[in-house]
Amino acid sequence: MIRNAELHDLFQIIELEKKVFKEPLTKEFIYQELTLNPFSYYLVLEVKKEIIGYIGFRVVDEVAEMMNFAIDPEHQGQGYGKEILNFVLNAFKDKNVKTITLEVRKSNKKAIHLYESYGFIQSHVRKQYYGNEDGIVYIKEVTP
């Protein structure tokens, strides 16, 4: 089940961040996104009442910027990433979003493959964006 993230999901989202990323987003950052940022749009993916994935965006006017996207490593490769990404792309059509942007580590080949399979196009490279690793910026135009 995909649903809007709520404050009570914070602990599970943080645990998922720690499982998936070398440098996870902080509890404070996600707390602010869920409670204070009027432009944030966060969804969780639950299986048997356990959050196994989440995706977060900031949506301003016609542009959505992906803040983070994580699927529990135990559930990767089973189509859950595609499920939540499809959900978001359909929801953005209703929100009048025209463009989606994101950054991804140059070494994250799985994510790059997923994004490119969905029509995201490399825009440019941000040198040392992730400390000692470049970030690749991708853009996708949302079609109605």
Mean pLDDT by 10 residues, the chain (144 residues): 96 95 91 96 95 96 95 95 94 90 94 95 92 94 82
* pLDDT in the model for residue 46: 96
Measured in whole angstroms, how far is the alpha carbon of residue 109 from the centre of its chain?
16
Q: What letter would DSSP give residue 142?
A: P
- Which string of b and e fits 103-125 if b means at least 16 CB within 10 Å? bbbeebeebbebbeeeebeeeee
* pLDDT in the model for residue 82: 95
* pLDDT in the model for residue 143: 76
**What is the C-alpha separation between 133 and 67, in angstroms, rounded?**
17
**Does the pTM of the predicted model rise above 0.85?**
yes
Question: What amino acid positions are annotated as catalytic residues?
Answer: 103, 115
Which tokens go with 63?
């542009």
CB 69 within 8 A of CB 110: no
